[in-house]
């Protein structure tokens, strides 16, 4: 059987991509992100401050990273973890991220949803019980609950 040059090139590129991806997954402890262990979030040096802030924070005894940063439904949780894992790997590998790290609008919406899920009784009252008022963002006032280390620049960007 004879292989054409484009097929060999494509096979080689797929092989290199799979090899680099596998190496990165093992090197970066990618398997740990499938767990619920908060130490997985501190695998990367960029997240050490957030992890340390969580350890000192009020939610440490009742919530892990996934409880606040991933939806509670199985598909949503693993879709969010896969999406974030891909982009975190990409930006951390290429160095294309800001320090201090900041939450994206999509992840901020997930976190806001998790606040509202766990604290539904309080949030319903705070939002006026459906009287038409615009909901208030939990993170507007409680920006440092999960990560006590947030500085002034992070607080401003979180609003």
Residue 132 lies in a domain: yes
The reported pLDDT for the residue numbered 3 is 81
Choose among 106, 101, 123: nearest CA to 45.
101
Residue 93 lies in a domain: yes
Q: Is the CA virtual torsion 55, 79, 138, 61 positive or negative?
A: negative
- H/E segment holding residue 10: helix 5-27
- Convert the pLDDT of each residue in 117-158 to its tens digit: 999 888 877 776 666 677 788 888 887 787 775 443 443 344
Q: What span, in angstroms and rounded, lies between the C-alpha atoms of 95 and 50?
A: 18
Check which CATH number belongs to the domain holding 98 and give it.
1.10.3820.10
- Convert the pLDDT of each residue in 16-68 to its tens digit: 989 988 887 787 777 777 788 888 877 777 788 888 888 888 888 899 989 99
Choose among 76, 62, 19, 69: nearest CA to 40.
69
Count of domains observed in the chain: 1
Domain range enclosing 45: 35-158
The reported pLDDT for the residue numbered 142 is 84
Which tokens belong to 42? Answer: 């501190």
Residue 89 lies in a domain: yes
Residue 6 lies in a domain: no
Which tokens belong to 86? Answer: 């891909």
Q: What span, in angstroms and rounded, lies between the C-alpha atoms of 140 and 112?
A: 10
The reported pLDDT for the residue numbered 154 is 43
């Amino acid at each position: 059987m004879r292989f054409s040059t484009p097929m060999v090139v494509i096979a080689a590129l797929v092989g290199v991509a799979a090899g680099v991806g596998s190496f990165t997954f093992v090197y970066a402890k990618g398997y740990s992100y499938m767990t619920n262990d908060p130490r997985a979030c501190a695998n990367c040096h960029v997240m050490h401050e957030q992890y340390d802030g969580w350890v000192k924070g009020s939610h440490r005894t009742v919530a892990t990273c996934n409880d606040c940063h991933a939806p509670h439904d199985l598909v949503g949780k693993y879709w969010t973890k896969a999406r974030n894992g891909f982009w975190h790997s990409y930006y951390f590998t290429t160095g294309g991220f800001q320090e201090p790290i900041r939450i994206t609008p999509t992840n901020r919406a997930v976190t806001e949803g998790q606040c509202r899920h766990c604290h539904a009784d309080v949030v319903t009252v705070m939002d006026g019980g459906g009287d038409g008022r615009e909901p208030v963002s939990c993170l507007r006032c409680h920006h440092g609950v999960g990560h006590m280390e947030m500085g002034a620049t992070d607080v401003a960007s979180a609003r």
